[in-house]
Protein backbone atom coordinates (compact mmCIF):
# COMPACT_ATOMS: atom_id res chain seq x y z
CA UNK A 1 0.00 0.00 0.00
CA UNK A 2 1.17 3.51 -0.81
CA UNK A 3 1.85 5.64 2.26
CA UNK A 4 1.11 9.33 1.88
CA UNK A 5 1.52 12.36 4.08
CA UNK A 6 -0.98 15.11 5.03
CA UNK A 7 -0.14 18.19 4.27
CA UNK A 8 2.46 16.88 3.17
CA UNK A 9 1.36 13.60 5.79
CA UNK A 10 2.49 10.02 5.73
CA UNK A 11 0.54 7.03 6.97
CA UNK A 12 2.47 5.23 9.73
CA UNK A 13 5.52 7.38 8.99
CA UNK A 14 7.63 9.17 11.58
CA UNK A 15 8.42 12.68 10.37
CA UNK A 16 8.49 16.39 11.19
CA UNK A 17 7.64 19.40 9.04
CA UNK A 18 10.59 21.62 9.86
CA UNK A 19 9.44 24.58 7.82
CA UNK A 20 6.63 25.78 5.58
CA UNK A 21 6.86 29.00 3.59
CA UNK A 22 3.82 30.17 1.62
CA UNK A 23 4.18 32.99 -0.90
CA UNK A 24 1.03 34.25 -2.61
CA UNK A 25 1.21 36.66 -5.55
CA UNK A 26 -2.04 38.51 -6.20
CA UNK A 27 -2.43 39.51 -9.84
CA UNK A 28 -4.35 42.55 -11.12
CA UNK A 29 -7.15 40.30 -12.38
CA UNK A 30 -7.61 38.85 -8.88
CA UNK A 31 -6.03 35.47 -9.63
CA UNK A 32 -3.58 34.34 -6.92
CA UNK A 33 -0.43 32.36 -7.69
CA UNK A 34 0.72 30.40 -4.64
CA UNK A 35 4.21 28.98 -4.11
CA UNK A 36 4.75 26.68 -1.12
CA UNK A 37 7.97 25.20 0.21
CA UNK A 38 7.73 22.31 2.68
CA UNK A 39 10.84 20.93 4.38
CA UNK A 40 10.53 17.51 6.07
CA UNK A 41 12.71 15.37 8.28
CA UNK A 42 11.95 11.64 8.13
CA UNK A 43 12.72 9.02 10.75
CA UNK A 44 11.27 6.15 8.69
CA UNK A 45 10.76 5.15 5.07
CA UNK A 46 7.96 6.80 3.07
CA UNK A 47 6.29 6.58 -0.33
CA UNK A 48 4.88 10.04 -0.93
CA UNK A 49 3.22 13.20 0.31
CA UNK A 50 -0.15 14.87 0.12
CA UNK A 51 -1.36 18.46 0.20
CA UNK A 52 -5.04 18.95 0.95
CA UNK A 53 -6.50 22.32 -0.09
CA UNK A 54 -10.04 23.44 0.68
CA UNK A 55 -11.01 26.57 -1.27
CA UNK A 56 -13.54 29.05 0.10
CA UNK A 57 -17.09 28.97 -1.17
CA UNK A 58 -17.22 30.41 -4.68
CA UNK A 59 -13.50 29.93 -5.34
CA UNK A 60 -11.51 27.05 -6.81
CA UNK A 61 -7.92 25.84 -7.16
CA UNK A 62 -6.17 24.37 -10.19
CA UNK A 63 -2.76 23.91 -11.86
CA UNK A 64 -1.24 22.17 -8.85
CA UNK A 65 2.35 21.05 -9.47
CA UNK A 66 5.12 19.75 -7.21
CA UNK A 67 8.90 19.81 -7.65
CA UNK A 68 12.03 18.63 -5.89
CA UNK A 69 15.28 20.32 -6.88
CA UNK A 70 13.66 21.48 -10.12
CA UNK A 71 12.39 18.03 -11.07
CA UNK A 72 8.63 17.74 -11.45
CA UNK A 73 6.98 14.98 -9.41
CA UNK A 74 3.94 12.93 -10.35
CA UNK A 75 0.75 14.32 -8.77
CA UNK A 76 -2.72 12.79 -8.57
CA UNK A 77 -5.88 14.50 -7.34
CA UNK A 78 -8.63 12.86 -5.29
CA UNK A 79 -11.36 15.09 -3.87
CA UNK A 80 -9.37 18.03 -2.41
CA UNK A 81 -6.16 16.08 -1.86
CA UNK A 82 -3.14 16.19 -4.17
CA UNK A 83 -1.03 13.02 -3.89
CA UNK A 84 2.64 13.61 -4.62
CA UNK A 85 4.62 10.46 -5.46
CA UNK A 86 8.15 10.27 -4.12
CA UNK A 87 9.75 7.33 -2.24
CA UNK A 88 12.39 7.89 0.42
CA UNK A 89 14.38 6.40 3.27
CA UNK A 90 14.68 7.09 6.98
CA UNK A 91 17.01 9.99 7.80
CA UNK A 92 16.19 12.01 4.68
CA UNK A 93 15.53 15.75 4.78
CA UNK A 94 13.26 16.56 1.82
CA UNK A 95 12.22 19.95 0.43
CA UNK A 96 9.13 19.98 -1.80
CA UNK A 97 8.18 23.07 -3.81
CA UNK A 98 4.57 23.23 -4.93
CA UNK A 99 2.57 25.67 -7.02
CA UNK A 100 -1.15 26.23 -7.53
CA UNK A 101 -3.58 28.95 -8.62
CA UNK A 102 -6.53 30.30 -6.63
CA UNK A 103 -9.42 31.64 -8.69
CA UNK A 104 -12.11 33.94 -7.27
CA UNK A 105 -10.11 34.31 -4.06
CA UNK A 106 -10.23 38.13 -4.13
CA UNK A 107 -13.27 40.26 -3.36
CA UNK A 108 -13.33 43.51 -5.32
CA UNK A 109 -15.67 46.39 -4.56
CA UNK A 110 -15.84 49.96 -5.85
CA UNK A 111 -13.53 51.36 -3.18
CA UNK A 112 -11.69 48.37 -1.65
CA UNK A 113 -10.27 44.92 -2.42
CA UNK A 114 -10.18 42.14 0.15
CA UNK A 115 -8.07 38.97 0.38
CA UNK A 116 -9.50 36.74 3.11
CA UNK A 117 -8.11 33.22 3.03
CA UNK A 118 -7.55 30.13 5.26
CA UNK A 119 -4.14 28.74 4.34
CA UNK A 120 -4.41 26.42 7.36
CA UNK A 121 -7.42 25.16 9.31
CA UNK A 122 -8.50 22.53 11.82
CA UNK A 123 -8.47 19.80 9.16
CA UNK A 124 -4.67 20.03 9.07
CA UNK A 125 -3.26 16.99 10.91
CA UNK A 126 0.39 18.03 10.97
CA UNK A 127 2.38 20.43 13.15
CA UNK A 128 4.51 23.04 11.40
CA UNK A 129 7.68 23.78 13.36
CA UNK A 130 8.09 27.10 11.55
CA UNK A 131 5.42 28.69 9.35
CA UNK A 132 5.69 31.93 7.38
CA UNK A 133 3.20 33.45 4.92
CA UNK A 134 3.96 36.35 2.56
CA UNK A 135 1.31 38.06 0.44
CA UNK A 136 2.54 40.04 -2.60
CA UNK A 137 -0.04 42.42 -4.16
CA UNK A 138 0.20 44.03 -7.61
CA UNK A 139 2.55 46.98 -8.04
CA UNK A 140 1.36 50.35 -6.76
CA UNK A 141 -0.89 48.66 -4.19
CA UNK A 142 -1.60 50.21 -0.80
CA UNK A 143 -2.59 48.26 2.31
CA UNK A 144 -5.57 49.77 4.12
CA UNK A 145 -5.54 47.32 7.01
CA UNK A 146 -4.87 43.67 7.82
CA UNK A 147 -5.47 41.12 10.55
CA UNK A 148 -4.70 37.50 11.37
CA UNK A 149 -7.06 35.16 13.19
CA UNK A 150 -6.40 32.35 15.68
CA UNK A 151 -2.82 31.13 15.07
CA UNK A 152 -2.14 34.17 12.85
CA UNK A 153 -3.28 36.68 15.47
CA UNK A 154 -0.74 39.46 16.15
CA UNK A 155 1.83 37.86 13.82
CA UNK A 156 1.53 40.19 10.80
CA UNK A 157 3.53 43.15 9.56
CA UNK A 158 3.66 45.27 6.41
CA UNK A 159 6.96 45.19 4.51
CA UNK A 160 8.11 47.29 1.56
CA UNK A 161 5.90 47.45 -1.55
CA UNK A 162 2.76 46.59 0.49
CA UNK A 163 3.92 43.02 1.12
CA UNK A 164 2.22 41.60 4.22
CA UNK A 165 4.04 38.90 6.19
CA UNK A 166 2.58 36.62 8.85
CA UNK A 167 5.16 34.82 11.00
CA UNK A 168 3.43 32.64 13.62
CA UNK A 169 6.42 30.31 13.98
CA UNK A 170 5.34 26.93 15.34
CA UNK A 171 1.73 26.03 14.53
CA UNK A 172 0.26 22.89 16.04
CA UNK A 173 -2.00 20.50 14.14
CA UNK A 174 -5.75 21.09 13.98
CA UNK A 175 -5.52 24.85 14.42
CA UNK A 176 -7.19 27.60 12.37
CA UNK A 177 -5.24 30.48 10.88
CA UNK A 178 -7.10 32.84 8.53
CA UNK A 179 -5.50 35.98 7.14
CA UNK A 180 -7.37 39.09 5.99
CA UNK A 181 -5.97 42.06 4.06
CA UNK A 182 -7.68 45.16 2.66
CA UNK A 183 -6.17 47.00 -0.31
CA UNK A 184 -7.10 50.10 -2.24
CA UNK A 185 -9.09 48.93 -5.25
CA UNK A 186 -7.23 50.91 -7.97
CA UNK A 187 -4.64 48.22 -8.97
CA UNK A 188 -7.38 45.61 -9.49
CA UNK A 189 -9.20 47.37 -12.32
CA UNK A 190 -8.89 44.31 -14.59
CA UNK A 191 -10.92 42.19 -12.13
CA UNK A 192 -14.69 42.05 -12.26
CA UNK A 193 -16.45 43.59 -9.29
CA UNK A 194 -17.81 41.21 -6.67
CA UNK A 195 -20.33 43.97 -6.00
CA UNK A 196 -20.65 47.61 -7.06
CA UNK A 197 -21.13 48.64 -3.41
CA UNK A 198 -18.93 50.96 -1.37
CA UNK A 199 -17.54 48.53 1.23
CA UNK A 200 -14.38 50.20 2.53
CA UNK A 201 -15.89 51.64 5.71
CA UNK A 202 -17.81 48.45 6.53
CA UNK A 203 -14.84 46.11 6.07
CA UNK A 204 -12.44 48.43 7.89
CA UNK A 205 -14.86 48.65 10.84
CA UNK A 206 -15.16 44.86 10.90
CA UNK A 207 -11.38 44.46 11.19
CA UNK A 208 -11.19 47.11 13.94
CA UNK A 209 -13.92 45.32 15.92
CA UNK A 210 -12.18 41.95 15.48
CA UNK A 211 -8.89 43.47 16.65
CA UNK A 212 -10.61 44.89 19.74
CA UNK A 213 -12.11 41.47 20.52
CA UNK A 214 -8.68 39.89 20.20
CA UNK A 215 -7.21 42.49 22.55
CA UNK A 216 -9.89 41.83 25.18
CA UNK A 217 -9.35 38.09 24.84
CA UNK A 218 -5.60 38.51 25.40
CA UNK A 219 -6.28 40.66 28.48
CA UNK A 220 -8.52 37.93 29.94
CA UNK A 221 -5.88 35.30 29.30
CA UNK A 222 -3.20 37.45 30.90
CA UNK A 223 -5.37 38.02 33.98
CA UNK A 224 -5.98 34.28 34.27
CA UNK A 225 -2.24 33.64 34.04
CA UNK A 226 -1.64 36.16 36.81
CA UNK A 227 -4.24 34.77 39.19
CA UNK A 228 -3.74 31.07 38.38
CA UNK A 229 -0.88 30.64 40.93
CA UNK A 230 -3.12 32.16 43.62
CA UNK A 231 -6.03 29.93 42.60
CA UNK A 232 -3.77 26.88 42.65
CA UNK A 233 -2.57 27.79 46.15
CA UNK A 234 -6.14 28.26 47.38
CA UNK A 235 -7.24 24.94 45.87
CA UNK A 236 -4.21 23.17 47.37
CA UNK A 237 -5.00 24.68 50.78
CA UNK A 238 -8.64 23.57 50.58
CA UNK A 239 -7.60 20.04 49.64
CA UNK A 240 -5.07 19.99 52.52
CA UNK A 241 -7.74 21.14 54.99
CA UNK A 242 -10.16 18.48 53.75
CA UNK A 243 -7.52 15.78 54.15
CA UNK A 244 -6.69 16.99 57.68
CA UNK A 245 -10.40 17.07 58.53
CA UNK A 246 -10.85 13.51 57.29
CA UNK A 247 -7.79 12.35 59.24
CA UNK A 248 -9.02 14.00 62.46
CA UNK A 249 -12.50 12.49 62.07
CA UNK A 250 -10.95 9.07 61.49
CA UNK A 251 -8.85 9.42 64.67
CA UNK A 252 -11.91 10.45 66.65
CA UNK A 253 -13.86 7.44 65.39
CA UNK A 254 -10.99 5.05 66.18
CA UNK A 255 -10.53 6.50 69.66
CA UNK A 256 -14.22 6.04 70.37
CA UNK A 257 -14.10 2.30 69.58
What would the pLDDT profile of 105-118 be if each residue is shown by its tens digit?
Answer: 999 999 999 999 99
Nearest to 177, CA basis, from 237, 225, 117, 127 = 117
CB atoms within 10 A of CB 164: 22
Domains (range + CATH), the chain: 15-198 (2.60.40.1730)
For residue 237, the model assigns a pLDDT of 78
pLDDT digits (tens, 9 = 90+) for 49-101: 989 899 999 999 999 999 999 999 999 999 999 999 999 999 999 999 999 99
CA diameter of the chain: 94
- Please count the CA atoms within 13 angstroms of the CA of 50 that sit on its side-chain side: 22
For residue 8, the model assigns a pLDDT of 47
For residue 208, the model assigns a pLDDT of 97
For residue 9, the model assigns a pLDDT of 47
> Could you please report the per-residue DSSP string of 72-140?
EPPEEEETTEEEEEEEE-TT-EEEEEEEEEEES-EEE-SS-EEEEEESS-TT--S-EEEEEEEEE--TT
Q: Which residues of the chain have pLDDT under 50?
A: 1-6, 8-11
For residue 230, the model assigns a pLDDT of 73
CB atoms within 10 A of CB 86: 16
Residue 143 to residue 161: CA distance in whole angstroms: 9
For residue 239, the model assigns a pLDDT of 85
For residue 256, the model assigns a pLDDT of 66
Q: Taking all residues of the chain, what is their mean pLDDT, rounded to a whole number?
A: 90
For residue 234, the model assigns a pLDDT of 74
Amino acid sequence: MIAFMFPIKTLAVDYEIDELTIQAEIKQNGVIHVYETHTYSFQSTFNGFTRTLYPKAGSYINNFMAFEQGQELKVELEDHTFYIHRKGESGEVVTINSFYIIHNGMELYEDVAQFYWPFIDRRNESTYENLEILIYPPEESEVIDFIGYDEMESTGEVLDHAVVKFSPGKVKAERNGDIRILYESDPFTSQSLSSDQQMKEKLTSAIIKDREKQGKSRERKNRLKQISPILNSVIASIIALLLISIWLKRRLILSAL
